[in-house]
Structure formats: C-alpha cells, structure tokens
Structure 1
Amino acid sequence: MTLTLDEVVLRDPVRSAAAGAARQAMPGRLLQIDTVARLAASLLNVPMATVTVIDDRHEFVVGSHGLPYGWAANGGLPLSSAVSTYAISRNGPASCADMLVEDSAAVRDHPLVERLALRAFATVPLCDETGQPVGALTALHTEPRQWTAKHIRTLIDIAELLRPVTGTDRLGCVVGLDSAALLDSVQEAFLAVDPRGIVVGFNAAAQRLLGHTAVQVCGRHVDDSLLPVYGGQPIGLALSRLFEAAPHRPVVRDLTMRHRDGHRLPVRVSLAVVASAGGSVACAFLTDLSRQEAAERLADRHSRFMDALLDSLSVGVVACDESGRVVLLNRALREVRGWADVRAVPVDYPASINGILRHPDLQTMQWQQTPLMRAFHGERVDAADVVTVVPGHRTRRFATTAQPILDEDGSRLGAVAVAHEVTAVRRAESFRECHRQVEHALRTAASATEAAPEILRAVTGTLGWPCAELFLVDDTTGMLHPSGHHSVTGDPGDGFFAHQPIRGQGVTGRVWQTGQPLWVADIATDLPQPTAYERERIQVCLSRGIHTILAVPVRDGGTLLGVLTCYAGTPEHHEDLLTVLLDGVAAQIGVYVALRRAEQYARHLSRSQNDFIALVGHEVRTPLAALAGNAGLLAEDASALDPDHQHMIEVIGRSTATLQRIVDTLLDVAGIESGQTSFTVEAVDLVSIVRDAVAAAEATSTLTFSTDLPHHTVVDGDPVRLRQVLDGLLANAVTYTAAGGHVAVSVQTTGDTVQVQVADTGIGIVAAERDRVLDRFFRGENVRHQGIPGNGLGLSLASAVIRRHHGTIRIDDNQPHGVIVRLCLPYHQPDGPAS
C-alpha cells in the first residue's frame, strides 16, 4: 500500500469543524474508549492501539491502550507525529507492514519510529453522522507485521462501536455505558465530570435547566461555563474530596450554578463516583430547588439509574454502608455467584458466599479478610488477588482494589471494592512455574514415561483441572500407547486411564490423526457423529464429571511423537490461551523425547562401530598378515617376472601395507579408548618432542614452518605417544594445506598446564562439522569433495591419547583460512594415564 497524505483533506474546514465537535463529544465516552482501544489491541495481537480525533493542526488522543505513561497527556500532538492522518487522507483504511523499508522518506523517518520504536501500523477512519472523517482507530506494533484483510475488517468493525461520534442530540451521552437513550429519557438534569473537572456528560434536561448547550460545555472545564459554587467557594476543592471518597451511593449537596443568562441558580445535586476501567467519573443529577416538592420523588429514580449505570460496567463493584452491611452488588459480581437475574443483595451476604472466596493458595478467605472489609476498617487495598470457587462454575481470579468511603469530616460512610478479572493473566504467569517443574521432571528422569506422572501433576495443578494423560508413539509399531497419567482423586480403575487410542476416533485419536490441537468445550454435545468407541469414552468421561477436553500434539519438528490430553470438570474459557500454554509443555516433552531417541541411535551406532572393530581384530588381521607375507615373498622373486607382473606385485604390497596401517590404527584407537593399551609415563621434554616432530615434517614438505618454543618444558607423559600425536597433527596440516602455505607451531605455559598449538592455512573445517571431527571414521564434507585420501582415524587417535594424558584437544578457525589445533596437557599426571 502506497502511503500518501492529502493536505487538502486534512485542512478541509468542514472536516476540521466536525472533528472539533467530535472532540467535545468524545469525553462522554470516557468509560469505553480505552476499552475500545484495548479490544483492538487484543483482537489484532498488537501492543498498542489509539483512538484519536484530528483537526487541521493537531491529533488528540482520546483513548489508548499500551502507550507509555504520560503520552500526549498535555494536549494535542502535531500532525507530523501522527500516522492516523493516512486514514483521514484516504477516508479509508491505511496500513504499513514495515516503516523502515517504505519507499516514502516521510514514513521511514517518521517521529514515532524513534519515540515509540514503531515499525508497523494499521489505521481506519472514524466518521461522524455526515460521513466526515474526524478521527481514526489505529493499531500499532513495534515489530514488522503483515496486515491481512481480516485484520483490517476487524479494525473497521471495532471502529463502528464509536459511530456516530457527534450530533447535538447525542453529545450528552455516556456511550461507554450504552446510556444515551437512558440519559435522554431522564427528565432530570444530568451532568458528568472527570477528576480534572472536564465536563464529559450533559443531557437535554441540563440544557433546559441551565441554558447551555452540550456543545458549549462538553470537553471544557466546569468553571468555564457553569461555575458551580459550594459553601461560598469554587467547586474544585469539594470535587477533589468527592473523588477521594469515591461514594457509590448518592451524596446530596446544595449549591449554585451559573445560568447561561448570568444569574445564579440554586440546585440540589445528587452525586456519585463511578469506577471503571477508563477512570472515575462524578455523575450528578441536578434538581431546581424552586421545585423542591419533586426532590423526594426523584430520589428513587436516581438510585435506579445509578444501579443501571453500575450494572453496565464490566468490572465487579461491591459496597457496604457505615455499619459494614453490603448494600450494593453490581451485575458483574452477581454473575460470579450465579445470581445474574437477582437484583436484591442477600440480607446475610457473608453467609451466602461462605467458602466461595479463596486466597491465591486456595485457602478459604474469611469475610473479615476480604478487601471490602479491610477497606471498611480503614485500609486501602491495591490489586489483591481473590479466587472464586463456585460449584458447577469455572474457577476465576480477580485483582481487587478497595478503599474506605469517608465523609467531609472524615467519618466513615462505608467502603467500596472494584474487582477486575485476571484469570487468564494469572494462568499465563503460573505456567512459567509449570514449565520449570516440567523441565526439572524431564532433567531428573531416565525416560519420558518415568517423568510423565510429575509432568502431568504440574499441568493439572496449574490448570486446576482434575486429570491428564500422556501418550507416546512407539518407535517399532508406530502405535500410540499410554505413557503416564495423573488424577487429583487417584485412579479408581474404571477404565478412564490406560486405554488404547484409536487413530481418528476420540479426542486423543483425532489429534493423533491430524497432528493439530483439539478443544472440546462440552464432550456431551461437541463431538459430531460420534462412533461407538467415542460414545463409550463419552460415557466414561461424564461418569467422572468431565465436560471439557483439550489435547495437543507432542512434536519434534514435523514428526508426531505423542499426544498430551487434559480434562476439566467445569466449562472453560480462554481456549486460545490454554492451547498455547499446553503447546509449550508439549514442546518441552517433544524436545526431550527427540533427544532421548537421538542418544539411543548414537548408542546403536557406537555399538555397531565397536562390533566392526572387533570384527577387524578377530577376522581381518590374520588374513591380512598372510597377504602381507606372501606379497613380500613375491616381491623377492619378482626379478624373474616381466615389468607388468612386477608392477602388480608392488601395488599389492603397497595396498596391503596401507590396509595394515589402517587396521593397526583402528585397533590402537580402540585399545587406548578401552584402557587396554598401556602407557609408559615419564618426565619428558615436551619442547624437544615438538621440535623433532616439526623438523621431520619440514624435511618432507614444501610448506614453510615457524615455531615459537621455550627452551624446554618438562611434563609427565608417554614420549612415544606424544610424538605420535604431533606427527599426526603435522601430517594433517601438510595434507590439507596447499603448496606455498604456512604451518605455525607454538608451546605456551599457563598455570598448571602446557598448551601446544598447531595452526595451518589450509582448507579448514566447516563450522557445523567441527564438533564431529574427533569421532572415529568422520571426514569433513570439503575433504571428501576434494578427493583427499584418508580414513578419519587420525584425529580420533590424537584425541584418545590426549584424554589418556588427562588433557584436552580443541579445534578452532584460523582466520582467514585454516584451522588451529590446541592441545592442553597438565604438567603432572595424577595417577598415571586416564582410563
């Protein structure tokens, strides 16, 4: 998508006027706009989202999710700092997958790339009732992101939640609470103010009472138009006390307000502070005191309206009066208890929830330990976790904030608590510990079957589900077999566990066939056309009280290794989250099983090599000796033969000698590695051995050699074996280095060890193969492709000798070409050669 800005559209005075009206109307949506932004961020899986209004000079952030603290808190941002202008210019969707690679320099160098680390965005316009683009809903990502048509459609659908955003007949609505029609139907004047004193709600009755229109007051400070006075003082101080006390039952005060024609109007105000995810709002009903006789009749209507207001909140609200008796319980909390259609609070509310509220460790929470009662006794509680366990319902967790409600004189009026559900968030956090427990179980077990009970115990404990099973594919038969299970109530032997899955049938069998996760919300109804086997399994599950099943594949890349199946006794939500979390556990198991199988294959390979060596030692060496002896006898009498026969005898002799050396080296390596070959350890001058080996190699090579050697260095070792290692390393350097190359040899002493270093400028070793070059028979790919002869035993022999000397051998790159072989030997052997 080509991103361009149309300045004519951005500067259009009609559009700018519409944007100004929308900006005044937007505060009326305070209780929902942040929620809309959070919804957009969640559904598009991005870290940030904004709702903005854009005039001809500024972008105003009226709702956001995930922005840094304080962002755009002081007013409008210049249009140069906005990406939502692209949606305004097009009056349609605009997106960018990666701002850093855009053709437009304005996009690549955009201020948000540096200020927010922004890399990708998608934005759609917000239009008023006449179709004018007055703002935008924008999804922001700090990583490159490919936007699909589904993403854009989702963003457009979310934007529709904010339409229309202007219109004088709806400017006074608090849309976040879906209260537009409700407010317009209320005959009493209604006013809503945020903690800054900005008017965010003003209904038609208030316009009639005070003479101001909603356009004149909404979005401005209350003192700019209405100038309320309480107790002879401006309203600011009283407003601050109101938000501190945060009363959720109406508080009645008498004050005066300025009418549009300038005269002071005495009113009685019924006030309450509503807590929501977007912040607190002071809601006020105004009664003209000249009509005092209507005040009592209106009180009940005010209370009903407040109840409707609180019931529309997604967060739970509970409040008690000055005696500690619960007097308010909004719909969100009634639904937790299963009282969605019951409005009246039980007379003995604490007894009605006895045993339902729990601490995070699931210990019963006594009534006096609840956040509400702690606040009632004067404590301010910030985000304390409360778990609800209601029979027949899923276990839920809430972050609960509570505070006391105080009168102006400090006397206690009651307390209020607000509960935000954090079940999904806490479950994700607890899975970190679950992964740690799974890792520990795998690390300490000899097999996946041995680790399975501990793994499944960790998974069921984290989920709060009653049981789980692990099935693994048998290497030999390819069948899926039970590997382990766990149940919080034990195994009664009713056939629930240890059953044999059938491929393509049942939840486990279907995952086995498809290799894809499967979520069954209700086992009784959600399996279409169940087979006889499936109907039998359904009955077994239902008899155990199981209703929800989630099964995920255990994989190693594209290979299915098994299936992890978990069972829940109550309806569950968060399907996507739970699938991802269990996929993580399945991945840990898959890696472990794959590593164990690789180790098993490696043991089989090593056993095969050992069998081959034994075959060479017992079956090849004797006939090979006979071949060598006979070839020698033929060579002694070859003078009587013609040249062709003499040449054939020479070839037989050379080939037999080469094969004899390979067999001798192979048996030598095997003998050293097994400890059967004895070493003669004595004090030897390592420098002398190195010097002699270099001289011998230099005499038969066209390469240049250099040495960096001390005068002498004495170590404990077998001189013959050490010389054998150095001859082999120098022979490799000569073999794999082209004519004109260089070999450098040095000896360095460090602490209790001596390091011998042989560096060449040859063809080197591929990095991916460096860890294997010490294995028997291994030869690098570049060596094989260049046709250089060898048998892959030289470095394995050197490694075996050095290990018997309690030393190490390491191979590194020698930039720009070649390798460096480093031998590290101790000065003294602790107890003779290592076994």
Structure 2
Amino acid sequence: MVQVGSTAGTTGADGRLSDAARLRRLADTGLLDAAPCPSLDRLARAAAHQVRTAAAQISLIAADRRVVAGQAGPAVRHTFCRLVVDSDAPLLVSDARTDDRVAGHPALGNGVIAYAGFPVRSGDGYPLGAFCVLHDQPRDWEPRDLLLVEDLAAAAQTEIRLRAEARTARRLQGVLDACQDAYVSIDLNGAVQAWNAAAERLFGYPVADALGRQVSALIIPERFRPAHEAGLARLRAGHPSVLAGGRVELAARNRAGGEFPIEMTLQVDGELYHAFLHDITAKHRAATGRELRLAVARALADATSAEQAADGTLAAVAHALGWAFGEFWQADDEAGRIARVGHWISPEHDLSAVTADRPFSVPHGVGLAGHIWATGTGLWAPEVADDPRLLMRRDQIRQAGLHSAIGLPIRSADRILGVLLLFSVEVEEPDAEVLELLDGVCGQLGRYFERRRAEDLALALAAARRDFDRVIEQVEDYVWTVEVRPDGSIHPVYGSPGGRLVIGPPADHPDLADAMDGRVHPDDRAAAEELPRKVLAGEAAENEVRMIGPDGAVRWIWTRAIPRREGGRLLVDGISTDVTDRRQLAEQRERLLTDQREQNDRLRRLDRLKDELVALVSHELRNPLGAIRNYAEELLLDDTLSADQRHLTEVIDKHSAHMQNLVDDLLDMARLEDGSLRITPAPIEIGALVRDVLQSQQPAAAGKSLTVAADAPEHLAVRADPTRLRQVLDNLLSNAVKYTPSGGRVTITAERVADEVRVTVTDSGIGIPDDQYDLLFDRFFRASNAIKQGIKGTGLGLAITKTIVEAHGGRITAAPATGGGCCFTVALPALQ
C-alpha cells in the first residue's frame, strides 16, 4: 500500500475522520499496512480504462494519512478523497481551478483538474475511503461514466469488506484455536459450521472432516441422538433453546468411539448455535474416586467378616466404574492355592456361566487370579478371552459376553493376601488413572485385612490363653517357669496346679531344685544334676528320673526345660510329667516285641519248611510223571490201539503234561526264591524271539479265532538268558490268548526307549479288577473274574515271570488296556 498526502486542504470538519469507530473498522480491513492488493489494482485499471482517464485510485483515509489500496496510472500524491470521506458523499469536480469547494487544495498542484470520487463504506456504513478517477484536463463527467465508477466503487467496497471479514474470521479462528475449550458451531439442521483446534484434539476429527457434517454423527453417543434431533426440531419450530445460557453436563464420543463426560456452554446467534465444550473426565474421575473411596470405607466399616468386606468392596468398585462382574480371590500360602471367596454381579447381566454357586480354587500361577498372585503385578486385558494367561474359563467368559478384565493384587507388607478381578461387557482399553484408583482401593483392602488379621490374632491369642488356662487346670502335668538369678539361685515364677500330683505337697509354687534334690532316686542323681547344668549354659535339656514320693512310691518323672532371656533375666520354662505308666507300657511293649520276634521266627521257619516241602514233592513227582508221559507217547505210536484205548491214552498224556508243567513251575519258583536258578545271559534279538513265540501260540489263537499281531523291528537286542526270556514271553502271550474271548485281539510290540528295550503284550480279554493289580504278581494269586468264569490256572506263571525279569535287571508292569483287557510291559536293559 502507498501512503500519500497530508491533512492540509480538508474542510476542517474532521469529526468523522477522527471517529474511533470508523478508524477501528478501517484498521480491521488490514489494508493500512498490508502489501499491494492486486484485486483492487484491477478495479482501478478497469475504471481508468473504461472512463478514459489519466489515473484511478482506491484510497483509504486514516486520521493522519491517506493509503492507496489500489491504483491505475501515475501515482498522485494529493487527491480530494478526504473530502469524500469527510462528507460521506460522492464528489464530482469538472474543473478544480474554478470550483470553490476545492480552492487552494494541494491536489491542484499535482495536476488533478477533473475528479469523480465515491465513498467506500464498511459493512455497517462507516466511510473508509474513496474510489476515484482523476484527469489532468477539465472534463464534464457523463452519467454512464459516473454509473460505471459507482459500480466499481461498490465492487471495491465488497472486496474490502470481504477482506475485513476474512481477517476478522482468521483472527477469531486464531483466538478459538488458542482456546483450551473445544468450540463447535452448528446451524438449525445440526450441520457443523465452525470447529476449532481444541475440538479437533478432543474429538479426533480434523476441521476439513468436521465442517458441514452432522454434529450428531461426530460427537453425540447413539443413544442420545433421538433427543438431539427432537431438540433441533423444536428450535426450527421457533421454540427457544432450553440449554442456552447455562452450563450443562453431557456425554460425548470421540472418533475412536470412546465415550467421556463434557461440560457445555451454549450461546445462540440468530440461527447459529455456538457451543464451548470442556472435557470433565478428570473432574468426574476425581469425584468418582472420592465416592468410591467413601463407598469402600463404608463397606469395610459395615463388614463383619473378610468375605463381607470383599463383597461390599466389589459392589462399590464395579458400580462406580460401570463394570458388570467382580471377584475376590483369597490366597493360601501354606496350601499353595488361591480360592474365590466372593463375587458381585450387575443385576443387568446374566453371568451364571462364569459365577456358579460353588466356590472353587486354583493352584499358584494357574488362571488369571493365580497368575497375578504368582507375578505380584496387576494387568489389564482388553480382550481377556484371548489372553494366554487365562486358560480355565475362556468358553464361559465368551458365553457370558465378557470382554475386558482388570486384575490387581491385594498386598500387606511383602505378602499378597488376595486378588481383585473385574470384568466388563465392553472392550475397555487400559487406563492408567483407573489402575491408580483401583490400586488405592486394593491398598484400603490390604490395610483392612491386615488390621482384621491383627484383631483376629489378638482375639485368638486371648481365647488361646483362656483355653490354655482351662487345659492347664485339667492336666496332671506340672507346667512351670522359674527365674535363675545371677547368684545361681532359682525362684519360681509360675507353677500349674498339677505340681502337687507330679512333685507332691506341700506348696503350690515349690522350690523346684529343693523338691527334686530331696526326692530323686539315688541311682538317678547324676542324670538329675545334668539338667540344671545344661540350662545354665543356655541349652534346652530334658531328663527322665525316678522320684520317691512322700508315700514311699517310686515314680518316673520326665522333665524338659528351655532357657530364654527376657529383659536381662534368665527364665526357664519347663514341664514335668509323671511317665510311670508310659515306662510300664514301654516295658510291656518290649516284652510284646520279643514275643512278636519269636513268633515271626517261627513263621519264617514254617514258610521255609513249606518251600522245602514243595521242592521235595515237585522233585519226587517229576520222575514218575516223566515215565508216565514216555509210556503214553509209546502207546500212542501203537497202531493196534482201539479208539477208546487211544482216547484214554491221550487223556493220560494231556493230564500228565499239565502236572509236569505245574511241577516245573513249582521247581522254578523254589529255585528262584533260594537263588539256585541260574541265568546265562547272551545277546538276543528280540524280534526273532517274538516271532518264534508268536508262531508257537498261533494254533491256540486260531482255535479261538483271535487276531494276533506283532511289531518287533530287526536288530533290537538285549543281553538275556534265551530260555528264560522265552519262558517270560510264552507266559505273557499264552495268558493273553487264554483270557481273551473268541474273536478278540492280541498284539505284541517291541521298541527301544532311551536305554531300555520294552516288550508290550496287549489283549482285549476279560481284564483284571482295578483293586487287584497290586496282587497280580503274588504266588498262587488268581483274579476274581477269572475264577468266576472257570478259567483254569495255578497263579504261578506271573510270579515266575516277574522273578525272571528282575533277575535280568529289568521290570514288569501291568495296567488296563484301552477299550478293555490288559497290557503287560517288560522293560530290559538294551544291549549297547
């Protein structure tokens, strides 16, 4: 902008020129000290061109200067524009040399002869300057030229007004953007017309995204939108706003969907409604914190037990935060478990899937409560059903519609007393302020429980003291405390009523040393003197000596004494008990033990005689049975035998073979027990042995239509006695075939596991009752279900099998098979 001219040549009536209101409007245009305005220059050039003048100017008149905002042609230092503003009317001069209105004006010296100027006004009518065309020759202005200049002056006026309004709007927007409160302006249809930086920060929508959109879609929670639309409808109907002019608290939502409280001040400007919004979350949280602490304090004050305190606190916390479900878990350090002892459920939700009526507990570190107990740190899980730390109730939590969870430990000093858990039906993101608030609540609970524990301990101590006194009054033992003075003298401090029964009359508090010294049996005086010597040396001591009572009876008295220091005093606590009956019982017990040992010796001798008899009988039977079998076999080779004779001979052979097997089993058992059975180990391939044993049992299995399968890989070797190992496998496989009903299945597998080779025989047979597995390898034991079904056997096979396996340094186990039947596993050291 160009500043020219002076105050000279004015009419002197500068009241309008100096009017403060006009000058403020002029300053608001921002053109007094601004850079050249191209749009105003274009208007000036249009006027000069259309009217065919030497120059055209748009001048703004301040109190002490003239500023050219737009011009065409050569610069002119002085014009008649101040007169136009001063008079607030157009000024037309055809020849300034002869016009008295401008006589002596400095513009004449600048060659301004012809002049046509029109006022340029502010929006509210204040003259700010003039739009003029200038010529250096006299000129009669034609009406059409004047009309054109007037129109261009109006255009310039509009341009200046728009610039002023834009500048004011920018300045206002700057003020609003600097404002800490959010500013939102809407029209009667609810469309956003203004949106400041604070609103952008508060709600998350940039200005470009907010302008023109419905305010309800941006910041109003969905449940309040019908009320908002109804309010706008009342305003459009001409009713006044019930919210304008005061402060009201409302709920708002941000772009992320989070809901929070705000305080709103509403102003009405025509058909625009301007709202200043302030986030009062901190205020609400402070109030919520105060109310919560008060509610917790009230619940703790009203509680008569730890469970009531927990339930009351859960109700207060969950209600204050709007969460649906809360649990209190109490830790038991000794048991290593944490148990749910209280819970609270919002009446609005059905959470039976996760509450259940019965209480339950979990081990240390298990589940959400166990995890918090183990780590000692709180957690906030936005989607708790997906949290790997919660493994126990995932399905129930999903079924109940719960999402987020908060868990915090309840501490007392360095110990965790319990865990507070809260669950929400909404997805809640972690909030440090809420955690801090709940941490304070947990601190209240911890102090309450510690205080309650101290009170309970005091009550328990008092009750224990009363119980102790009652018990002491009833017992016949003498409980006592004495003080040992520096000079070695002993003075009684406490003595129970039982002293008369133990030590004898005459006093309730006798001098213990004198009483003992006078009544100790002469043979026990050395033992009696050892006790005070140890006690004076600071050691606990006890003895058992005989004392002679006033009636001459000898009693055994057991005494234990424990020294302690208390405030510089040496005190000795002790108990003395008449153990005469115990000594007599001990003597009787020794006699009984002697008798029992003698009885055991007799039983062992009988058992040995039985084993010797079995071995003798087995040995004596072996040779005759062998001869019978040989003759039977010879007879069976005779083709002249009749059918009946051959049948009878086969029966003799079959039963003699059965008796010979029984005799062999008895001999094996006898040898195994007396250690005379020799094991000659050698490298054996298990696979070949398994297939050989399987082939020998195939006829019996085929006779019952059993499916027999084997899985024994090559080169799986052990070091064992081939004969005895075959005996083991024969016993197991024959038992499996014997006890499996027709159409069943028997499998034998071999595999290497670490340093062992394991052979497993599994059948689908009748099985064994669960309570009889421990007896399975005892001699002559047979399962009850096998006896009921009439399956024959001696009960020696498995006993022999176990002894053979253990002789090889292995082990054998039995267990129920999947789907029924039995599974026997033999584990032997693998051949390295």
Question: Relative contact order (C-alpha < 8 Å, sep 6+): which is higher?
Answer: 1
- Same fold, judged at TM 0.5 (above): no
Indicate the structure (1 or 2) with the bigger Cα radius of gyration: 2
Pick the TM interval, shorter chain.
0.3 to 0.5
TM-score, normalised to structure 2, is: 0.36
